[in-house]
Amino acid sequence: MRLFVGDDWAEGHHDVEVMDEQGKVLARRRLPEGVAGMAQLHELTGRYLGEDGGDAQVAAGIETDRGPWVAALVAAGYVVYPVNPLQASRYRERHGVSGAKSDQGDSHMLADMVRTDSHQLRPAAGDSAEVEAIKVVARAHKTLIWERTRQVQRLRAQLREYFPAALEAFEDLDAPDALELLGKAPDPARAVRLTRAQVSAALKRARRHHIADKTTAIIAALRGEQLAQPPALTAAYAAAARALIAVITTLNEQVKALEGQVGEYFGQHPDAEIYRSQPGMGAILGARVLGEFGDDPHRYTDAKARKNYASTSPITRASGKKKVVAARFIHNDRLIDALMSWAFSALNASPGARAFYDEQRAKGLEHNDTLRRLANRLVGILHGCLKTRTPYDEATAWSHRENLPQSGVAA
């Protein structure tokens, strides 16, 4: 016997529907979040499975692939199908085009979807707790980096309005020396009073090189002529800038702290050595790629499946005489960002990767398009290394290309 559960989740509750193999609705309930709701769901499905439910299968469709609720479903033996919201929206249109939508209707749609189309859906990946932990810290680390970039851009916009000399004096507004000096002198009047000793000391604490020359350049920029705002407006801008400087300083500290956590979690994973052997891939980048790909050995049937999930492989749209091959625009943003960074880093670590890049560029392809194609090749190589449980070898990876070293090059 098989039962099908549609679960339309919200922050505080779940609207569920239980359906049999013929599509008959057996029950509908709104269950609370947490242990109480999970117990009620087990009681509900157990009621229809009966005493012979040991060999039965319960398939559940839900529009998420993570969280304690999904983990509890998997642990209880449910076959969980995480449904992409876009897929759910398209499937909903099969039953009606009026645009009507309700939580109860969505739970019915999800139950019917796993009943009729489960062969087209991918069950929740069986990733280990270790790789899920890597994903959590790697995503948090990258999120803080993105947030720091946003705050730096806001600070840059503020300084442009009232203190353009600061932009000339400091190239990197998130650098420790720039944050320290701007914190002491967030406006032109205080900046011109900065002494050479103060600037030099800040550069030393930031471990800069050529301190004397940089000190001279910073002082000259801060004391140069510039357009000014009225004093009251300048004071207001300076207060806002000081708040942003404090936020960026805190983000710098937390990014550094999480960086250590990412490296620690990544180093404990059994696949870490294979990932680190890839050209241009260190601990942080390896953790991001491993966390997004997962470590379920049965998740990707072949290299093409992994490339498709990575969205580095192209898609084909063909109709009649028209055929278009294009890049995938729907993708895991975090994974594709990590893969593009990996491809760029590999240019200096792998002769094969560099030769491939130069060959594509010679054909007239743009930089980003070429990097995506290189990332696609590297994902295929990574898949082969994971499948055979062997580290990267330059000669093996690019053996189909001419004029490359015949001996392995450690990356």
Cα–Cα distance for residue pair 317/129, rounded to 1 Å = 38
In this prediction, the residues of the chain whose per-residue pLDDT falls under 70 are 51-54, 401-411
* 78-133 confidence digits (pLDDT tens): 999 999 888 888 888 877 777 778 888 899 999 999 999 888 888 888 889 999 99
Whole-prediction pTM: 0.85
Output the pLDDT for position 401: 66
